[in-house]
Structure 1
Amino acid sequence: MTCFAIARDDLTSPDVLDLLRLHLDEMHSWSPACKVHALPPEKLRAPDVTFYALRDGDRLAAVGALKVLGEGRGELKSMRAAPDYRGRGAGRALLEHLIAEARTRGLIWLGLETGRTVPFLPALRLYESHGFAESTGFGDYVPDEFSLCMELHL
């Protein structure tokens, strides 16, 4: 099993920016533009968002963020494993870290929005395996044939 290191990240390193660019490009190729809720780096630097990079030595394996919504609620944003690390536990390790971080911060609820189509099935299975269940929309998210909201009560 790979030993990953997870740390807060300032979104300035080229490998992180490249992975986020790939993430946004794929989201736009898989979903209508109005259903792409992935954030660009400048919005992931907001004060209410904590961004993390997961590394395997000096190689970037995954990224993801925790956004605090208020009233004990949080949202997972920009979860993405690097192509070479898909299916190798990087996403799982980062998701477990983000859930633990949410609990440490005293959050009682985590939500996320993801796609509902075939390219998103691995992510859906990962979230379900950690107790996330389909939910009604939250914030500005409206579930439909492309978009799925999920929640986890902590």
Structure 2
Amino acid sequence: MSIALESPDQPDVHALIAELDAYLYSLYPAENVYALDLTSLLEPNVLFAVARDADGAALGCAAVVVTPAYGEIKRMYVRPAARGQGVARRLIDALESAAAAQGCSTFVLETGPTQPEALALYERLGYRYCGAFGDYPEHPLSVFMQKEAR
């Protein structure tokens, strides 16, 4: 498996994002899904990582939006068949390292309470629960987490 920073504007990555969207919209009402669209993912302050198997097939993806205050983890997704193999951890590690190289010292994320596997992963990676940040409202369908860079 390899992890690399890539453009999200690729057909196989579009498929990953579509799978993620279908999953999120099956769990939450549209007004509680705070997903970045492709245009937003192409902004210069967004780092986008893709995990690929030995044959080059996309297994997962994630992004970090680097702001002056923090790096926000977004669009984290690993295909079900690739879960439990460390793909998500490696994606997050790659993004945190790349963002830290740009001076980012704090990482935040918003996820949902009906995703216990994601919550457990983020806790294992050192993220701790916090209050809403940025433009997010406090809401029972949002869980906010934060981590200081190593």
- Percent identity reads 34
Mapped to 1, the partners of 2:146 and 2:137 lie a distance apart of 14
Which letter maps to 2:59? A
The RMSD of aligned alpha carbons is: 1.3
Which structure 1 residue ranges, 5 or more long, are not aligned?
Answer: none
Mapped to 2, the partners of 1:103 and 1:12 lie a distance apart of 24
Which letter maps to 1:20? I
Which letter maps to 2:122? Y
| Aligned counterpart for 1:59 among listed residues 57, 60, 70 | 57
Equivalence for 1:100: 97
Question: Is 1:152 the counterpart of 2:147 in the alignment?
Answer: yes
| Aligned counterpart for 2:119 among listed residues 118, 124, 127 | 124
Task: Work out the number of aligned pairs and report it.
Answer: 148
Mapped to 1, the partners of 2:105 and 2:136 lie a distance apart of 20
TM superposition shift of 1:143: 3.3
TM superposition shift of 1:67: 0.5
Equivalence for 2:33: 36
TM superposition shift of 1:50: 1.3
Mapped to 1, the partners of 2:44 and 2:93 lie a distance apart of 22
| Aligned counterpart for 1:68 among listed residues 66, 71, 74 | 66
What TM-score does the superposition give when structure 2 sets the normalisation length? 0.92
| Aligned counterpart for 2:136 among listed residues 113, 135, 141 | 141
Partner deviation per Cα, 1:45-69 (whole Å, 9 max, x = no partner)? 1121111111112121110111012
Which structure 2 residue ranges, 5 or more long, are not aligned?
Answer: none
Mapped to 1, the partners of 2:145 and 2:99 lie a distance apart of 16
Mapped to 2, the partners of 1:33 and 1:140 lie a distance apart of 17
Partner deviation per Cα, 1:16-35 (whole Å, 9 max, x = no partner)? 10010111111111011111
In the alignment, is the contact (CA less than 8 A) between 2:47 and 2:95 conserved in 1? no
Q: What is the DSSP-based 3-state SS (H/G/I as helix, E as strand, rest coil) of the residue aligned with 1:51?
A: strand
